[in-house]
Amino acid sequence: MKKLILTLALVATSALVFGQKKVVRDAEKDYKKGELESALTNINMALENAETMDDPEVMLLKAQIQLKMFGTDSTNTMGNLEVGKGSYESFVSAFEKGGSDKTDGVGEDIYAEDMLGVPDNLRPYSIFTLKNTAFDKAVERYNSDDYEMAYEFFNLAGEVDPSDTTVHYNAGFLANDLGRTEDARKHFNILLDIPEYNKLNAYYNLVQIESAEGNPEAAYDIVQQGREDYPSDKGLAEYEIQLLLQLDKLDEAMASVKEALKNDPENTGILLRSGYLKEQSGDIEGALADYKKTVEIDPDFYEGNYYTGALMVDRSREILAELNNLSDEEWEKRSESMGKEANQYYEDAVPYFERALAQKPEDTNTMIVLFQIHTRLKNEADAEKYNAKLVELLGPNWMEN
């Protein structure tokens, strides 16, 4: 009797296992026929049964069913994205159940190279097929100006393949553009960890993100990291100087400027900062020389022209202020020579401000300075020319504003 009961139990167990394998076979048939909802129902039944729930091949089939559902749905909505995420989770689960080996067993199928441009039935429907499908959906959404969903699909592709630099750059760029700074940081930082990748743009973007977020210390740390990888890069050198100025580290900024100018002596941006640092330290002549040099290199450099003119006007005003503070006796002796010196600075400033104005023709601040200079120098026609422009742009009462 015991033997009969045992035999019956074995028969029942075999029938159950056979039954579950039939469910898996049915799921596979439905998958191949494109009846994906039925296939998913059957495979989920198999995964709920103790006899087949830990079979990596069964979980792989679920991942592939979900992947085909993901790919054949062209709506590219958030709901479609969730199907793609589910496929990725199933691939990961199948890989773990199969021993986490990409070179053996189910791992070979999961990580089979996708074959682009071949008929659909020849594609392996591997995890790389999932990545490429997500990438295509991201591009479609981007071209349709749906940048939020474009980011989400790029992000999924990046989760599937952390080594794909194109995916992570696109995801980081979109996230930053959408104001999703944490997501942008995530993708750009992934790029920094990929060997052999040219990381300059990732560094630039991270510096800009931290600066825009009001984190100059964090931005400076990124620049320092970047300069270790790219010690001769001019862009990072300029960022370093700019951030040192923001952090009020003037001595370090000057040292950085000098080092940068050794490698790039005609960089107008660095020369401008050199002039600024010298001006802050009281070396007015040195500052003026640097500002003038920027314009010698690039006559149309707006900042170089404006800073040169502004420093000349400041120098002229200092001379006049000094003159006004002299005793009557000293004033009589020196007023003519000091007045000429002040006027000469004003005259010398005019062409610099005019070139600056040529770059920004609607810049009323520069027009006001030119009006004041010509008024001081009694150049009535020129003063009236700028007055007429200011009346046109600011109204007849512009002097009162």
Using one digit for the tens of pLDDT, what is the confidence trace for 168-210? 999 999 999 999 999 999 999 999 999 989 999 999 999 999 9
Domain 266-353 architecture: Alpha Horseshoe (1.25)
Angstrom distance (rounded) from CA 267 to CA 251? 20
Angle between helices 234-246 and 216-229 (to 10 degrees): 150
Q: What is the dihedral of CA 140, 149, 96, 106, to 10 degrees?
A: -10
Query: Side chain identity at 219, as an amino acid letter?
Result: A
The tens digit of pLDDT for each residue in 332-364 reads 999 999 999 999 999 999 999 999 999 999 999
Tell me what pLDDT residue 54 has: 92
Instruction: Assess contact for 227 and 236: CB atoms under 8 A.
Output: yes
- The residue ranges of the chain whose pLDDT is under 50 are 1-2, 4-18
List, in sequence order, the alpha helices (H) in 264-327: 268-281, 284-297, 302-324
Angstrom distance (rounded) from CA 121 to CA 133? 15
Angstrom distance (rounded) from CA 264 to CA 195? 28
Domain ranges of the chain: 266-353, 362-401
**Burial class (CB within 10 angstroms; exposed 0-12, middle 13-18, buried 19+) of 195:** exposed
Tell me what pLDDT residue 17 has: 46
Tell me what pLDDT residue 20 has: 62
What stretch of H or E contains 73? Answer: none
Tell me what pLDDT residue 334 has: 92
